[in-house]
Amino acid sequence: MNEAINQLVLQSLATKLAKSELESAQNESFYQLATSELKVMNEVLEYDQALKELFEETKAKMQKGE
């Protein structure tokens, strides 16, 4: 009986660990994608000064609630 319970416990733990690791890997992937997209956006803003100024102006308006 103990052996059967131990086997079920191990299976349950393995399943929970696999789900947790999968979620962790997905979150890491989302983070890497967001970081990559942010890097490209920042590079575009650095490349085009007029666009960067428009961005900063719009950001200021948003922060003021306009």
Tens digit of pLDDT per residue, the chain (66 long)? 799 999 999 999 999 999 999 999 999 999 999 999 999 999 999 999 999 999 999 999 999 998
Please give the pLDDT value at position 46: 97
The pLDDT, as a whole number, for residue 1 is 75
Query: What CA–CA distance (Å, rounded) separates 36 from 29?
Result: 11
**Spatial separation of the C-alpha atoms in residues 49 and 52, rounded to whole Å:** 5
Q: What is the pLDDT of residue 66?
A: 81
Give me the pLDDT at residue 13, please.
98
| Burial (CB count within 10 angstroms: exposed 0-12, middle 13-18, buried 19+), residue 52 | middle
From CA 23, how far away is CA 17, in angstroms rounded? 10
Question: How confident is the model at residue 15, as a pLDDT?
Answer: 98
Q: For the chain, which residues make up each domain, given as ranges?
A: 2-64
**According to DSSP H, which parts of 1-66 are helical?**
2-47, 49-64
